[in-house]
Amino acid sequence: MSTTATVGEMANSAVEFYPKRGAGGGAEANHTGDFGVTLEELRTLMELRGAEALQKIQDNYLSTEGLCQRLKSSTTDGLSDNPADLEKRGQVFGQNFIPPKKPKTFLQLVWEALQDVTLIILEIAAIISLGLSFYQPPGEESESCGNVSGGAEDEGEAEAGWIEGAAILLSVICVVLVTAFNDWSKEKQFRGLQSRIEQEQRFAVVRNGNVIQIPVADMVVGDMAQVKYGDLLPADGILIQGNDLKIDESSLTGESDHVRKSVDKDPMLLSGTHVMEGSGRMLVTAVGVNSQTGIIFTLLGAGEAEEEKKEKKAKKQDGAVAMEMQPLKSAEGGEVEDREKKKANVPKKEKSVLQGKLTKLAVQIGKAGLVMSAITVIILVLYFVIETFVIGDKKWLTECTPIYIQYFVKFFIIGVTVLVVAVPEGLPLAVTISLAYSVKKMMKDNNLVRHLDACETMGNATAICSDKTGTLTTNRMTVVQAYVGDQHYREIPDPGQINPNTLEIIVNAISINCAYTSKILPPDVEGGLAKQVGNKTECALLGFVLDLKRDYATVREQIPEEKLYKVYTFNSVRKSMSTVVKLPDGSFRLYSKGASEILLKKCSFILATGGEPRSFRPRDREEMVKKVIEPMACEGLRTICIAYRDLPGDPEPDWEQEADIVTELTCIAVVGIEDPVRPEVPDAILKCQRAGITVRMVTGDNINTARAIAAKCGIIQPGEDFLCLEGKDFNRRIRNEKGEIEQERIDKIWPKLRVLARSSPTDKHTLVKGIIDSTIVEQRQVVAVTGDGTNDGPALKKADVGFAMGIAGTDVAKEASDIILTDDNFSSIVKAVMWGRNVYDSISKFLQFQLTVNVVAVIVAFTGACITQDSPLKAVQMLWVNLIMDTFASLALATEPPTEDLLLRKPYGRNQPLISLTMMKNILGHGAYQLVIIFTLLFVGEKIFNIDCGRNAPLHSPPSEHYTIIFNTFVLMQLFNEINARKIHGERNVFDGIFSNPIFCSIVLGTFAVQIVIVQFGGKPFSCAPLNVEQWLWCLFVGVGELLWGQVIATVPTSHLKCLKEAGHGPGTDEMTEDDLAEDEEEIDHAERELRRGQILWFRGLNRIQTQMEVVSTFKRSGSFQGAVRRRSSVLSQLHDVTNISTPTHVVLSTANASASLGNAGGESIP
């Protein structure tokens, strides 16, 4: 009790030691909120590691207890449960959650969807069309104005005029709503997933002397948190008391070895790291955005809004300081920065490859449509003027002006009709439906897509840089081979194959001589893999016991931990662990396990086949190394030897003489442990390679294991020319003498590089950037990257598609990624490639169909209008055709399921045109067939069918059979051509797999049914006269002709058609450079202006000095490299981009010493 009393008193006195500052320091006192330490002090403290951190605590607070008192907390009782106090801590030091980006509202999403170029063209056309349809002609025509038969409209047509415009607007609204709704529901799904994960996390803290579980978000600075193995630390803190605490900091530093934490060596615990062994208590010193993970999040821009608010506040307070700081910002930096900010404020969504190509194509088609419609209008006007005023020899009378205008307006409407038919309004809809459908289906394939365009980019991927652990392998150490009783088992032996006596000893040796904290728990999800807790190697051995159909838990129950007589724990010197137990007869038995090369030297006996020991001489040992251990090591296995020794109980051995005790052992077994490759991975990688995608493995593991795993996966094949490098080598090869990275050096390496081992996250980012920026191959490489650690953030952001692990991934990785693999499995990536290619193909199919209809409809409307002054297809019929070819076709063709065949071709690449030569051949071929049929029907149809001619029909005449046949034939040809459009690579069998797509079948049949209804019962509104059976059969016959004609076209080799051109290329390089040049010029102008002021050198000098000071201090501290970033960025305030995370590293290198390894610069040693 007395201790707590004194602590309490000291806490009170601490407050008196730090009385509130006078009026002058009002702001300051406000900051600390009566605590003896400020948020800034804590932030800088948490950037230090090891001895420096201890020194700083010593200097500033005398001890960790001192810091604890300043935070008004107790090392034993923690905080009081006083809500006011907790509230206040939350205000002063922040709360323990990282504010998510504000989700876009539905209206914002709608507004974004409206920005599409095609949609804008359509909206304009629709509004004009609507406006004109409400224009009523004045008065009846007077005789004197000349009654020109301008292809008179009937009433139905005049009344139905507005339908055209309204329908277009309706289709635009559909597209926009579908797009917005998709984005919105996707966002919602993702947030749901996140919040579900967040709410489930709870953590143990001490409040009022009691240990309670609280939600992670409720933790505040000053809390005493209980940490134990398996925990993911939710906040930064300082260790107050610890037992054998080991932390896996790989998610922050990429350091694969566990870091030992102790109160007197390295007490700094960081959020987002995992506790691997031991337990302890920590004083929470930084939460939420101020914790190390929070800081990285802020760099990734998740907490942007928060920062802005803070900046505003800071500006008010630091007005004076800011003035002094100003000159440090280089002026060009300042101006460039303002420009950057302006740019950044415009919500510029990077267009995906496909969107770029489509927009370009839509604009091209739109232009062509405009030209056609303009020509149509001009021809009609000229025709009218010549006929009326030249041939008819009429004068232009003023009272006739409104009537003439009415004619011109009618011509204009015909022009707009042509334009409307020409513009493919179905394009955006098709893209949206296709992507949305794919994303929904990809959820079933364990891909949670966060950014729609990632799905389609994945189809173009040419390279995948994958992690090893957890993605290619199962991330669980497993015993895969064993040498027991003179027998080398290449698979886990059946318990019956092993002598019962030997089996008993194995089970006991493993169960007792593994830390009792290591255990195997049932899986979290049904059908998942069992969970391993504690030391991975020990878990592998315990798994081996379970594989032998025995249970280690029963052994542990018989001999609980407190009954263990003596334990020699594992350490790096011993490389083994031994446990002594007392047997019922009073004698002792020692169980030992450890690295085989060390333990076998201490073995004098070995258990033979019958379970009895026989002598084990050096000669036998050498043979065993050759026959068993080396073959295992070559396969990338880690070999562990398990042994025992019986010791007499009387006299009791001297346990301190370890060398005398752990010797003359009897070897029981040698097992080979590995992190096994997931069974489905080799097949998936083979598929990738067939599909023209290079898989590279980037891992923190050593090069031998990495090479063995890569060979097992099939990433490297014997006889191939490939490179396997370590991070150090890689860095040496890509940097010049000054230590700067050179693109041409990377270009020499990456094409052959297959394995990068012992790599840091910065290496991963460098590699990805190097491959993307490379220009040695004609196609720009599209790179996908998988990552799970916080440190993979920059690489995931830089890649074209970033995959984060849904199970093992940290939040930072998920936030930076485009697609989340919900099962952490590489084979899901292959599914993503398949879906991505499918999206691309679906859109090509749709285009092939759509453009055929467009070409035909435009030409028919155009020639019809020019020759007969009236389009053979009426506005309402056009609308129905538009509906079929746009909305329905996009539904039918965009929902084709993917097939494995998609993985048999190479990626299209960024510059590949959307419309290939084969497709162009199909479009023009089918277009020609349809035009021939329609013009034949238009001009000689009445003779063929022996019916009344429909051309130049007088006003208000009923709909003619002639024009109905034309309309019907046209629609049926489209229907059958839709089946042709299912194949775009010139395949012959267009029916292949048609029944696997029920949507397609139902749409084709549904359209056919509706068409019958329209023709037979559509009457006046649709300008249709009912047809008899014979006429229907002829129309059907011509329609089916499309399928036969398709076979004819497929026979013509594309290579012979030299005249064809592809269309819909990606945004060309020329366009890119113009922008860049303009930017460069701007920068040059800025520079010149600065020179005139004669200040630029002064700014640069200051900048340089600052950087140098930065470097020196970084080296002195070699603090965490986020710290360096933050300090440098606050000075230069130019953190525009995540890549800056890696910049300071290069600065440090280049200025200090090129030979300093990257690791030191980043504050992370590379083993």
Question: Quick one: 584 exposed, middle or buried, by C-beta within 10 A (0-12, 13-18, 19+)?
Answer: exposed
Active site residue 763: no
DSSP letter for 776, please: S
Give me the phi and psi of 459, to 5 degrees please: -65, -25
Q: Using alpha carbons, select from 663, 642, 639, 625 the residue that is nearest to residue 502.
A: 642
Q: Using alpha carbons, select from 789, 1063, 718, 807 the residue that is nearest to residue 918.
A: 1063
The percent helix, strand, coil of the chain (3-state, each to 5) is 55, 15, 30
Distance CA 867, CA 877 (A): 19
Question: Is residue 644 classed as helix, strand or coil in its secondary structure?
Answer: strand
Catalytic residue among 266, 453, 467, 763: 467
Distance CA 1155, CA 1167 (A): 16
Question: Quick one: 846 exposed, middle or buried, by C-beta within 10 A (0-12, 13-18, 19+)?
Answer: buried
- Token pair for 747: 């270009």
Distances (CA, A) of 538 to 446, 576, 1135: 31, 12, 45
β-partners of residue 241 are 281
Contact present, 441 and 842 (Cβ < 8 Å): no
Contact present, 699 and 706 (Cβ < 8 Å): yes
User: Edge-to-edge strands of the sheet including 694-698?
Assistant: 447-449, 819-821, 801-805, 783-787, 463-466, 694-698, 753-757, 723-726
Beta-strand pair 531-533/694-698: unpaired
Contacts of 597 (CB under 8 A, 6+ apart): 625, 629, 639
In this structure, the number of other CB atoms found within 10 A of the CB of residue 192 comes to 10
Beta-strand pair 447-449/819-821: antiparallel
- Which 3-state string (H, E, C) describes 504-522? HHHHHHHHHCCCCCCEEEC
DSSP letter for 601, please: G
- Token pair for 593: 């396990």
DSSP string, 1078-1127: HHHHHHHHHHHHHHHHT-HHHHHHHHHHHHHHHHHHHHHH---HHHHHHH
In this structure, the number of other CB atoms found within 10 A of the CB of residue 1102 comes to 14
Identity (one letter) of the amino acid at 702?
Answer: N
Contact present, 326 and 1165 (Cβ < 8 Å): no
Is the previous residue joined to 651 through a cis bond, with omega within 30 degrees of 0?
Answer: yes
Contact present, 661 and 696 (Cβ < 8 Å): no
Q: Within 13 A of 955's CA, how many CA atoms are on the CB side?
A: 8
DSSP letter for 266, please: B
Distance CA 1076, CA 453 (A): 24
Distance CA 221, CA 198 (A): 19
Q: Using alpha carbons, select from 123, 110, 209, 218 the residue that is nearest to residue 168.
A: 123
Distances (CA, A) of 904 to 398, 689, 891, 907: 72, 9, 26, 10
Catalytic residues: 467
